[in-house]
Amino acid sequence: MNDPTGKINVNWLALWACVYGNSTPDKALRCMGVKLNKTKTDIKARSILNAAQTAEAKQRYQTKNISIRDLAELFNTSYGTMRRALAGVPKFVG
């Protein structure tokens, strides 16, 4: 393919690598030097709560009028992780 500017876009090369090279998009872009925003290790590290954080989240959820989304933002984790941590804990009724 001819590019009028004489340059080939990295995204096109990655697309060709995926289609013709049987590669994943992340792997193709990484091989071409494009840094991805989030890696799986970043996401996994962010969504783990230790026992002390889980106990504090449960205590706050039971004693204060705070939502699961607000707690997840407070502890810097995802909504799903916080929801699983608070499974079976009754909500504050006041």
**Cα(81)–Cα(19) distance, rounded to whole angstroms?**
35
Q: 88, 41, 91, 94: which is closest to 71 by C-alpha? A: 91
Question: Residue 69 in contact with residue 51, Cβ under 8 Å?
Answer: no
pTM exceeds 0.85 for this model: no
Please write the tens of the pLDDT for every residue from 30-65: 777 766 666 555 555 556 788 888 999 999 999 998
Q: Which residues, at least 6 apart from 36, have a Cβ–Cβ distance to it below 8 Å?
A: 26, 29, 30
